[in-house]
Amino acid sequence: MQENRFQRNSRQREIILEELRKLHSHPTAATLYKLVSKRIPRISLGTVYRNLDLLSRKGIIHKLEVGGSATRFDGDISKHYHICCTECGRIDDALDFSDKIINVDISDFNGYAVKGYHINFYGICSDCRESH
């Protein structure tokens, strides 16, 4: 029954996805809500959360749960890694590393049938380094 509710709100979901894909900043649901509410003034934060969750479960977007910070979302589902600033929490794509880090077959690892993996890098972004 809940799935049908998402189906009815497909226009809202499309707008949420459009706004997410415009960004390269890996926003939180609250940040995305502020952008989406400019186009759909009556949308609720809960609706944004539910649609982001659905889009994530369907593999249309990535949900980024980087240790200790608020959940972020990425509209780019291509294979790439992320780097997170330990000072300000900023998350950027680490595209330069995508083909260089994992260069082994992990399809059968320690008896597991591997379905996916996440590698996140941590450091201090250039803005935070300049301010110190």
Report helix, strand or coil for 62. strand
pLDDT the model gives residue 4: 52
pLDDT value at residue 118: 75
Rounded Cα–Cα distance for residues 96 and 83 (Å): 11
Burial status of residue 67 (CB atoms within 10 A of its CB: 0-12, 13-18, 19 or more): exposed
Contact assessment for residue 54 and residue 13, using Cβ atoms and an 8 Å cutoff: yes
pLDDT of residue 1: 39
| Domains with residue ranges and CATH for the chain | 2-64 (1.10.10), 78-131 (3.30.1490.190)
HEC string of 65-112 equals CCCCCCCEEECCCCCCEEEEECCCCCEEEEHHHCCCCCCCCCCEECCE
pLDDT for the residue 65: 86
Of the candidates 88, 98, 96, 75, the residue with the CA atom closest to the CA atom of residue 122: 88
Q: What is the pLDDT of residues 66-90, one digit of tens each?
A: 776 789 999 999 888 889 998 988 8
Model confidence over 5-58: pLDDT tens digits? 545 558 999 999 999 999 988 999 999 999 999 999 999 999 999 999 999 999
Whether the predicted model's global pTM rises above the 0.85 cut? no
Q: Do 56 and 6 meet the contact criterion of CB atoms below 8 Å apart? A: no
Token pair 């950027």 is found at 92
pLDDT at position 38 is 97
